[in-house]
Structure 1
Amino acid sequence: MTTRRVIDPAGALFGLGLPLLSALAVLALTVAWQPRLPDRIATHWTGLTADSFGSAMSSAWTMALLIVLIGGGCCAIAALAQAQLIMRRYMLVLGLGVTGLMLTVHVAGLAGQLDLADPAQAPFPMWSIGAGMFAGVAVGWVGAALLRDYRERKPATAPPDPELPRGRVETPIVEQVGTGPRTTVVLVLIVMVPALLVCAATGSWWMPAIVAPLGFLVLSLLRFLVIVDERGLRVRNLGTTAVAYDLDEIVSAKVTQTRPFQDWGGWGLRVKGRGRYGLVTNTGPAVVVTTASGHEFTVTTDRAEEMAGALNTLADRRSAASTGGLPVPENE
């Protein structure tokens, strides 16, 4: 008997362990450095000027709690083996980016006040904002690459409905869905140009350090590579397989018309009820793949008819091979 895995070990290590270790590091460093810190440390800055002061340990406990609640709260889904893989990956990267930001800013702020007589003279470590965010996102992406899809797979036992489309199997069928290169460039300019103008006006350059990695994550959710071949259907994103449905589990593939906001409540990777997922990036035709485990995955694509026909024909061959029968002929 197989056991339904509940926890992804890599997700637990990166999504739960690292935020907790970061919180403990904040407390441990504060205890170790407390003899060299002022009685009341700078805890808040307006621009580069310290304007709020408090106990070092009180500040440390507050930051540790924020790291666990905010950073760990975002990352926690990465440990859930049955949650959708792409969601777990993105939440892990986002959560560890926030964790890295808070940890680095706090530690750098303490380090700048070591052996300092007047905490009002403590400079704000502006560099720590960008360094922390980039470091957290980098670690998060390493962890995201280690996550695995542990969802339960049930083999299909019958061929698709004869009324569903069939077609020639000329695989692989590959299509880029989402924003095109020009749209992506325009979106980057819309986000980055205002950030750079604000930085130039204020003489502070920390904003792009936050906007750049977060913008990268957002834009990566706007471009996907859909592949249909003898293995089934896969969706790749940022060089990794984000969604995969094997041919052995596919019950059927059909074509429908989809409207992102009216039918799914938004644009991009969507969830609509238990086991219903969609990659909806435009209004128009979509291929809907149903699996024996009850999953239904919708992808908007101009090649929906071709993809559905190929998947159903391949599923016919699979069923024929498993029963020793003859393959169903392809429609011309």
Structure 2
Amino acid sequence: MKESRTFDPAGALFGVGVPVLSAVTVLALARLWAPRLPPTLATHWSGDVADGFTDTGSASWTFVLIVLLVGGGASAVAALAHALLMMRRTMLIVGSAVTGLMLAVWIGLLSAHLDLASPEQASFPTVSIVVGLLVGGAVGVLGASLLRDHRERRTTDTRPDPALPRGPLTLPIVARVGLGDGTTAVLVAVGALVTVGLCRLADSWWMLAVFLPLTLLVVALGRFRVVVDHTGLRVFNMGMCAVGYDIDELEGARVTEIAPFRDFGGWGLRTKGRGNYGIVTATGPAVVVTAANGQRLTVTTDRAEEMAGALNALADASRP
């Protein structure tokens, strides 16, 4: 059994360190620029007209709480080395995007008020939304690429149950699951129409700046590539290996029928109890892989029978 870590160093740095540093930056900028700011800040606009105002100190602490509780609360999961690698990566990217958004909006908000006699003259920092989401998301992707799978690994010499399927070793077996090109196009089109409608009602186009990067993130997180080869099973997301089990870890693979909302309570990357994970993106056949450490991974794919047969045959061939 391979010794495992409790905390991932990269996860602690990006998932905890970056949000804390961002929160400190929020307070530091408020203090540094205080002589050049009006007593209150415009924090709400109707179109281009500022109609909501907040004390600078109160506004800064509100941003700090959002950064730490929302951004940091999500990304801190990346530091937990035993959690599923894909879940840690997803939460880090989402949390980093929120952290980057809030920090960039705060910087843009303060910049818009510098040397103004009255906060009514400030304009909404729309550009900061786009910059914050893109930079925050990029930092999250960088951190996610540095995360490593420190889960407990156990090997087994026991062959899979003879009742489990066996199949020919025509490898590799590659399947793409999740959002297809057609579904992606429909979701983007519907989301864009709704966003444009809301922008017209609000007489402001800043929501479109949020929609574009968020759509890119959602689409990227919702597309997976599953590979079965001589080394075992791997699931890739955003070009990175997010879940992987070696052949010597596998106790067996079986095929079942899955309905995402009935069996896992939702669509996408799901967890159902300790060590029971699923990448459930369709109703139908799924390959269920059981590892020697007690973890179980369910992946919905039309090639479930083929994958299960190959994995069990590979396990047979690798054991006495």
Distance 1:62 1:264, change over 3 A: closer
Flag the structure with larger Rg: 1
Structure 2 counterpart of 1:78: 78
Quote how far apart the aligned CAs of 1:216 are. 2.2
How large is the RMSD of aligned CA atoms in angstroms?
Answer: 1.7
Distance 1:2 1:212, change over 3 A: same
- In the alignment, is the contact (CA less than 8 A) between 1:221 and 1:269 conserved in 2? no
Task: Give aligned pairs, total.
Answer: 320
**Amino acid across the alignment from 1:263:** D
Distance 1:38 1:12, change over 3 A: same
Q: 1:112 and 1:59 mapped to 2: Cα distance? A: 14
Distance 1:130 1:310, change over 3 A: same
Quote how far apart the aligned CAs of 1:271 are. 1.0
Q: 2:249 and 2:156 mapped to 1: Cα distance? A: 5
Structure 2 counterpart of 1:123: 123
**Greater shift after overlay, 79-88 or 36-45?**
36-45
Q: 1:261 and 1:203 mapped to 2: Cα distance? A: 38
Distance 1:2 1:280, change over 3 A: closer
Q: 2:40 and 2:209 mapped to 1: Cα distance? A: 30
Secondary structure of 2:318's aligned partner: helix
User: What is the TM-score normalised by the length of structure 2?
Assistant: 0.94
- In the alignment, is the contact (CA less than 8 A) between 2:16 and 2:72 conserved in 1? yes
Q: 1:44 and 1:153 mapped to 2: Cα distance? A: 51
Secondary structure of 1:199's aligned partner: helix
Distance 1:61 1:292, change over 3 A: same
Structure 1 counterpart of 2:31: 31
Quote how far apart the aligned CAs of 1:3 are. 4.3
Distance 1:304 1:6, change over 3 A: same
Quote how far apart the aligned CAs of 1:200 are. 4.8
Quote how far apart the aligned CAs of 1:275 are. 1.1
* Alignment deviations for residues 178-234 of structure 1 (CA, whole Å, 9 cap, x no partner): 232112211111112221343356552221221222222222343211111101001
User: What is the TM-score normalised by the length of structure 1?
Assistant: 0.91
Structure 2 counterpart of 1:40: 40
Quote how far apart the aligned CAs of 1:262 are. 1.7
- In the alignment, is the contact (CA less than 8 A) between 2:50 and 2:122 conserved in 1? yes
- In the alignment, is the contact (CA less than 8 A) between 2:96 and 2:139 conserved in 1? yes
- In the alignment, is the contact (CA less than 8 A) between 1:133 and 1:209 conserved in 2? no
Secondary structure of 1:105's aligned partner: helix
Distance 1:213 1:175, change over 3 A: same
Structure 2 counterpart of 1:187: 187
Distance 1:43 1:306, change over 3 A: closer
**Amino acid across the alignment from 2:60:** A
* Alignment deviations for residues 284-311 of structure 1 (CA, whole Å, 9 cap, x no partner): 2221111110111111222222111111
- What does 1:58-207 correspond to in 2, within 5 Å? 58-200=58-200, 202-207=202-207
Distance 1:218 1:54, change over 3 A: closer
- What does 1:204-215 correspond to in 2, within 5 Å? 204-215=204-215
Secondary structure of 1:100's aligned partner: helix
- What does 1:179-328 correspond to in 2, within 5 Å? 179-200=179-200, 202-320=202-320
Quote how far apart the aligned CAs of 1:39 are. 2.7
- In the alignment, is the contact (CA less than 8 A) between 1:41 and 1:56 conserved in 2? yes
